[in-house]
Amino acid sequence: MERKILSASLLLFAVSAAQAQDRQVVDTVASALKAQGVMTPKGHFEVEPSFSYSQNSANRISILGFTQVPAILVGIIEAEDADYTTFIGALAVRYGLTDRIELELRAPWVYRYDSITKRIAVPKGGDDTRTLNSSGGALGDMEAAIRYQFNLESAPYWIGGLRVKSDTGRSPFDQEIDVNGIFKDPATGSGSWSIEPGLTMIYPIDPAVIFVTGGYTWSMETDAARYRVVKVPDTLENEVVRLPGTDKVDLGDSFFLGMGMGFAVNDRLSFSLGINHRTVFESSLNGSKTGKVLQLDSLTTGFSLALSESTSLNLSLQAGLTEDAPDVQLNFGMPIRF
């Protein structure tokens, strides 16, 4: 049970981190098509409301039994179909401390709807199908970032950044589960702090912009509550009890790399194509490695439309290329500069 919770939280963390990196790349390219200085100008504020939708699905088949001969199976076949839908509304505020330095604070609100369908086939032809749902919303993990543009005069432009993610979201390690191992209230955060340094290169070649970005995410250790499913005395029912003490969980570090091109259609419209990769290393439970290495690869396309001199509309669509990546993710953003 503990390992199942750990795997679910690890996937949530990895996906949310990949989403943040993709959003930053698309916004940076859109800005680079307009001016040499890609940071918020000194003394100016930029407010960006955004909305994202992501959908992920997973299928698993497990067999409990044995084969008497190659064609005869004795036991139980269980098929599981899981669908995870996530909506995120966020507000980001950026301030130009200087023409080279930009500060950012981002607060997300996360709503999740998880649906898991289990089909159990027994040897005599019986079939038991159950659909388990879990939904809810709460504040997500707030983030703070600082970015520095190393050069202003000549291309390529280099931008270094440091992002710190908090644990303000609903932690998967503190949420109560039911007898089926499903969260009663789904997690809206990773449950731990993380620090992510990164470096981005932007190279304008009229009418295109080439961009490459990379970085490393260090995830801090956190405490996880212990739960166990037990039978209720004198009944056939089960219940979940919380055990004393906590476990030490490390979600595992990761590194990411993204690259692509942005194209200027005219002085108001631009679009971009890119590919992103993130490797999340094994997590650990009480010092022992657990779970697996996750490979998140996705293809992203987006566009930016200048609505006025101070407002633009950004849209990006991301399609997962690997099993661990979200199937589809849609992002809207509207940065407004003051």
Question: Per the domain annotation, does 239 fall within a domain?
Answer: yes
pLDDT category of residue 288 using cuts at 50, 70 and 90: confident
pLDDT, mean of residues 199-205: 90
Question: Per the domain annotation, does 119 fall within a domain?
Answer: no
Distance, CA of 157 to chain centre? 27
pTM of the model: 0.82
Question: Per the domain annotation, does 76 fall within a domain?
Answer: no
* The pLDDT value given to residue 84: 87
Q: Judge whether residue 125 has pLDDT over 60.
A: no
* The pLDDT value given to residue 126: 57
In the chain, % of residues over pLDDT 70: 77
194-205 vs 157-165, strand pairing mode: antiparallel
Q: Is the dihedral of CA 4, 5, 8, 11 positive or negative?
A: negative
* The pLDDT value given to residue 236: 61
Question: Per the domain annotation, does 163 fall within a domain?
Answer: yes
Higher per-residue pLDDT: 265 or 22: 265
Q: Judge whether residue 29 has pLDDT over 70.
A: no
Question: Per the domain annotation, does 72 fall within a domain?
Answer: no
Identify the CATH number of the domain in which residue 281 sits.
2.40.160.40
* The pLDDT value given to residue 199: 95
Q: Rounded distance, CA 13 to CA 225, Å?
A: 18
* The pLDDT value given to residue 122: 55
* Joined tokens for residue 224: 């996880």
Question: Per the domain annotation, does 121 fall within a domain?
Answer: no
- Name the residue range of residue 276's domain: 2-53+84-112+135-337
Question: Per the domain annotation, does 296 fall within a domain?
Answer: yes
Question: Per the domain annotation, does 71 fall within a domain?
Answer: no
* The pLDDT value given to residue 284: 87
- 226-281 pLDDT tens trace: 877 777 676 666 777 777 888 888 888 999 999 999 888 888 888 889 999 999 99
* The pLDDT value given to residue 159: 93
Domain count, the chain: 1
Nearest one of 90, 21, 94 to 49, comparing CA atoms: 90
* The pLDDT value given to residue 276: 92
Distance, CA of 248 to chain centre? 22
Residue 21: C-alpha distances to residues 108, 197, 211 (Å): 15, 11, 13
